[in-house]
Amino acid sequence: MDIIVLKPSAKDKDIKHIVKKLENKGLKANISKGTERTIIGVIGDTSKITEDEVASVRAINAVEDVMRIIKPYKLASREFKKEATIIDVEGIKIGGKKIQVIAGPCAVESKTVVNKIAMEIRDAGASFIRGGAFKPRTSPYSFQGLGEEGLRILARAKEITGLLIVTELMDHRDLDVMLKYSDIIQIGARNMQNFSLLLEVGSINKPVLLKRGLSATIKEWLMAAEYIMSRGNLNVILCERGIRTFETATRNTLDLSAIPVLKELTHLPVIVDPSHGTGKWNLVSPMAKAAVAAGADGLLIEVHTNPEEALSDGEQSLKPDVFANLMKELKPFAKAAGREI
């Protein structure tokens, strides 16, 4: 808490009360009385002040607002680490010059389908295959994923193609089996604030792909990353996947401004998922290009050999030839952004 703005109605006794509160915490107050209102500057090490303590000052009737200069997240902040974090996943670097592409079906459906998709996306230039074995479906009656069998199918596709595996963890009880098969563990939008799950993946030594929550602010998202990092796992990749707005023309509103905002606030790599971000396959290519132009470190794109028959998210999945074409079309955008793809 660095600056406390008082209401015009604040009395001298209110100021005294706040100054005393600060002094009790070993801090000093710099009081600046204007014609309209008084502002208290807090002097001392304010980094140790907790969010709860800030809330207790906000609760004082005479206080209009409290502005923090120190960010509530530390390990994730640019102040903490100036240079961009490059995450090395089995030799593939995320956050470096090369833009990395993660592609694959929404859900792992069968060995044949996954192997076919894997070969197509590998040939087109992807480095990672994605696919959910445990699916967070809105309806309990929708396809929920194949579980461990799905992970084994991904492992087989990795053997055939050399693609690394990104797959979602929903329940901490599946962590051991996940560690056995995955190269990056995805935490989905619906679990972005599942704090106990975040702490679990904070204690492992595999990179975590943290999707933005459906209605999460960038600050809340970075606080979620901080939960993971606070346990020692500093390898967090942020994935913008669209947020809920009033717009109904798209499934979500892909917040591309989050990329440059995050680049200022954090050293962590930022990737973009235009598939969930738009919900429509024909919008995926333009938004993927825009994401690269805006400075994304990678893309996550749903690809299916037969979107019509896909067990989930067919309407936003690219056919392999469209994906391959996009990979070619991305080249000049990557070059313009000073990157490679």
Question: Nearest distance from residue 189's CB to ligand PEP, in Å?
Answer: 4
By the rule CB under 5 A, 106 interacts with Mn ion: yes
Question: Nearest distance from residue 161's CB to Mn ion, in Å?
Answer: 21
By the rule CB under 5 A, 109 interacts with Mn ion: no
What is the edge-to-edge ordering of all strands in the sheet holding 63-67?
28-33, 38-43, 3-6, 63-67
Return the SS3 of 218: helix
**Residues 6 or more apart whose Cβ sits within 8 Å of residue 144:** 134, 135, 137
By the rule CB under 5 A, 313 interacts with Mn ion: yes
Question: Nearest distance from residue 188's CB to ligand PEP, in Å?
Answer: 3
Which of Mn ion, ligand PEP, none is residue 211 near (CB under 5 to 8 Å by kind)?
ligand PEP
Which of 269, 277, 287, 270 has the alpha carbon at shortest distance from 253?
277
By the rule CB under 5 A, 225 interacts with Mn ion: no
Taking a C-beta distance cutoff of 8 angstroms, is the pair 124, 324 a contact? Answer: yes
Which of ligand PEP, Mn ion, none is residue 189 near (CB under 5 to 8 Å by kind)?
ligand PEP
Question: Nearest distance from residue 188's CB to Mn ion, in Å?
Answer: 9
Which of Mn ion, ligand PEP, none is residue 241 near (CB under 5 to 8 Å by kind)?
ligand PEP
Distance CA 294, CA 284 (A): 15
Count of residues of this chain found to bind Mn ion when the rule CB under 5 A is applied: 2
Tokens standing for 304?
A: 């299916």
Which residues bind to ligand PEP, rule: CB under 6 A?
106, 132, 136, 188-190, 211, 241, 276
Distance CA 48, CA 310 (A): 51
Binding stretches for Mn ion (CB under 5 A): 106, 313
